[in-house]
Structures are given as C-alpha cells and as structure tokens.
Amino acid sequence: MGVKDLVNRLTKPVEEADREKLVEFCSHLEGCEPCDSLRPRQIARIAGEVSSVRIVPRAGSPALEVGVTDGRGTVTAVFFGRRKLAGLNPQRRVVLEGMIAPQGNRVFMYNPVYELLP
C-alpha cells in the first residue's frame, strides 16, 4: 500500500467508506439490481441495508415503511397492515423482490418478498 492510499483511507469520511463497502457487498449478490437502475412497473430484486423504519397511517390502517439503500439509491418497502416485522431493523441487510412503483422522486415496493441476510 502506497503512502497516497494510506492518506486517502485515513482522511476519507466514515460514511463514504461505509457506502463504498455497501455498494461492493450489494454488487456481489447474484440476481440483484442496483437501486439507481430500476425501471417502473417491473419486477425487481434488490439488496441493501435498512436505513429507516417508520409506521405511517394509510387509509385508516397502519403501514410499515422500510427504507432500504444499496449505496447508490433508496427504495421504500411498504408493508400494509403491519406495525412491525421481526428482523427488519436499521442497519440490517436484506434482499427485497417486488414490483417497482415510482411516485414523484421516490421509489416504492408494496408488500415485497423479503429475505434477511446475515
């Protein structure tokens, strides 16, 4: 390792280093697409890390919104009628599969199939 690489590693913000590691992890999973290249109204499989979890009332019933990022973009998974799902906590790595539904500048997946990663 050269001096230039060492200086770069020591001066790089922690968030940037974490994002690069997440991009590398997600790009090595087979069958998963990057979040910045998803097409509307297509079935997609993405991998990423849970960045946020919140309960939002929709049409009188609760909906769990889970933000998942792969370091390139973010997808919001919406689970209708749920207040929580076991294992879906911030910083947990997951794979989601479902229909892509963009609304405004956000991308949603409604009731996607999810797989928790170690």
Superfamily in which the 3-116 domain is placed by CATH: Nucleic acid-binding proteins (2.40.50.140)
In DSSP notation, the chain reads --HHHHHHHHHS-HHHHHHHHHHHHHHTSTTPPPGGG--TTSEEEEEEEEEEEEEEEETTEEEEEEEEE-SS-EEEEEEET-S--TT--TT-EEEEEEEEEEETTEEEEES-EEEE--
Give domain limits for the chain.
Answer: 3-116
Per-residue pLDDT of the chain (118 residues; tens, 9 = 90+): 678 877 777 777 888 888 888 888 888 888 999 999 999 999 999 999 999 999 998 888 899 999 999 999 999 999 999 999 999 999 999 999 999 999 999 999 999 999 999 8
Global confidence as pTM: 0.85
